[in-house]
Amino acid sequence: MTASDILSTAAAATRWPTLPDAVKAQIADLFLDTLAVTYAGTRHPSFQPWATASAALGKGPLVDALIEGGATTVHQLQDIYRLGRGHPASHIVPAVFALGVQRNATAADLFAAFAAGYECAARIGAALGGLQDLLHDAGTWATIGAAVSAAHLLGADQTQIAQSIDGAAAVTLFPYRATPMAGATIHHLYIGLGAAIGLAAAQSVMAGLTAIPGTLEDFFGPRAGFAFSPAKLTAGISNGTWAQYEMLNAHIKVRPVCAHIATVMDTVTDFVARHGITGADVAEGDVGIYATALQYHSAVPAGDLAARFSIDTMIALMLIKGITLEQDISPADLNDPNVRDLARRILVHHDPALDADYPAGRPSIVTLTLKDGRVLTQRATYPKGDVTNPIDRSERRAKAGALFGANAAAILFAFDTFVAGGAIAPLAEALRSQHA
């Protein structure tokens, strides 16, 4: 049997009533979080013109998945599966929600499809052992999860899901890692196209197109993975079902930055809370980071997106401007002389001693020397929101509410009604208020 055969057997058997309660709660939270991140992203001024132009291409799930998937990366608040080093829910939710609206799907059907795709994607991501040099994770392995979820919602059998896996594995993106650090917003296409490609692969298989069995392990894994381990593709599957649920290891982000620098922002946030410091109090700073994180650091950020990959700039913005998770970063923010001056006084460097704690964690050591002579220093390994440093369900919901803004009450009510067995159309309509 191929890995796709084993994965697809467990995916085909995934049904909402048989999922553990903890998994059901996690699905609802991941789904709501992704909808909220998407909603906020579509309202960003840098994203709206592209969303409008894309919508003009036509109506339907493929275009919706493209736009909504693209929006997940705007504020860098998308979900993370740390062991796979990527964002499965951000690929799956736009694809399966767009399809679900078209098919008037129930929450039970939609969430079961999500579970099937997430569990497949997580195992594929972990099996890669990281990506080949210069490749970005978005639009790669999680695309295959979107294909599984879409196939599941379309009523695919085991064979059709296996074909969707291998079909998506044949056509996933191989995107350039440096794009977002340079501030190039074509980066938003990575997950947008990933969601659309996954959906298209599933629809194509259901319409009779075929893939080569074994494409996942024969082509995609060796080509994409840095240390590909085929055995990990089917880990945690027993007797044709999920013996463990990888989605329970998901990270729901609370910092609007690249995940590699999340613990840096956790520490600075802690310093502010405990010591009441602002940018005016800081003489200089020092940030030690692990090697992979430094690859994602934007030393001279050009625009909102690149700033979210810039360690020194985000520290300066937080201390001087009080940047919040739903806030846009304007050119005026980046060009503020106080922000630029403080960023120049923060040294960012590789600390080899931290490398051993990655990818299990996202380690950093932040030291701020204050003008009054005090020195604040702290090491952090696990980012807030990760399973290793979790936030509770009320905090997750508060994040979603902040991102939904003035429309939070209506959207949260519609979501809760849908989860309780209501129709999907009112939820879709409430979310459309983003375009008002």
Burial 314-341 (b: 16+ CB within 10 A, else e): bbbbbbbbebebbbebeeebbebeebee
User: What pLDDT was estimated at residue 326?
Assistant: 75
Residue type for 51, please? A
Q: How confident is the model at residue 119 (pLDDT cuts 50, 70, 90)?
A: very high
pLDDT tens-digit profile of 384-397?
999 999 999 999 99
pLDDT tens-digit profile of 74-85?
999 999 999 999
Q: Measured between alpha carbons, how far is 298 from 294 in angstroms, rounded to an integer?
A: 9
Exposed / middle / buried, residue 369 (Cβ in 10 Å: 0-12, 13-18, 19+): middle
Q: How far apart are the first and last CA of the chain?
A: 51
Q: Measured between alpha carbons, how far is 246 from 108 in angstroms, rounded to an integer?
A: 19
pLDDT tens-digit profile of 342-397?
999 999 999 999 999 998 999 999 999 999 999 999 999 999 999 999 999 999 99
Average pLDDT (254-263) is 94
**Backbone torsions φ then ψ of 81, nearest 5 degrees:** -110, 100
Is the pLDDT assigned to residue 299 strictly greater than 70?
Answer: yes
Q: How confident is the model at residue 323 (pLDDT cuts 50, 70, 90)?
A: confident
Is the pLDDT assigned to residue 421 strictly greater than 80?
Answer: yes
Cross-strand partners of 287: 348, 366
Q: Residues 271, 273, 277, 279: what is their CA dihedral angle, to the nearest 10 degrees?
A: 80
Q: How confident is the model at residue 336 (pLDDT cuts 50, 70, 90)?
A: very high
Exposed / middle / buried, residue 180 (Cβ in 10 Å: 0-12, 13-18, 19+): buried
Give residue for tokens 């802690």.
270
Nearest residue to 363 (alpha-carbon basis) of 381, 389, 378: 381
User: What pLDDT was estimated at residue 328?
Assistant: 87
Average pLDDT (401-419) is 97
**3-254+388-435: what CATH class?**
mainly alpha
Q: What percent of the chain has pLDDT over 90?
A: 94
The residue ranges of every structural domain in the chain are 3-254+388-435, 259-380
User: What pLDDT was estimated at residue 195?
Assistant: 98
Kind and range of the H or E element at 120?
helix 107-128
Average pLDDT (401-428) is 97
Is the pLDDT assigned to residue 224 strictly greater than 70?
Answer: yes
Contact 184, 202 (CB under 8 A): no
Average pLDDT (55-60) is 91
Kind and range of the H or E element at 28?
helix 21-42
Q: Measured between alpha carbons, how far is 209 from 324 in angstroms, rounded to an integer?
A: 46
pLDDT tens-digit profile of 153-170?
999 999 999 999 999 999
Q: How confident is the model at residue 435 (pLDDT cuts 50, 70, 90)?
A: very low
Is the pLDDT assigned to residue 45 strictly greater than 70?
Answer: yes
Cβ neighbours of residue 370 closer than 8 Å, sequence gap 6 or more: 277, 281, 282, 283, 376
Tokens, residue 135: 């490749």
User: Does CATH number 3.30.1330.120 belong to domain 259-380?
Assistant: yes
Q: Measured between alpha carbons, how far is 24 from 260 in angstroms, rounded to an integer?
A: 28
Average pLDDT (228-232) is 97
Average pLDDT (44-48) is 91
Average pLDDT (37-46) is 93
User: What pLDDT was estimated at residue 327?
Assistant: 80
Q: Measured between alpha carbons, how far is 211 from 224 in angstroms, rounded to an integer?
A: 18
Q: How confident is the model at residue 436 (pLDDT cuts 50, 70, 90)?
A: very low
Mean pLDDT of the chain: 96
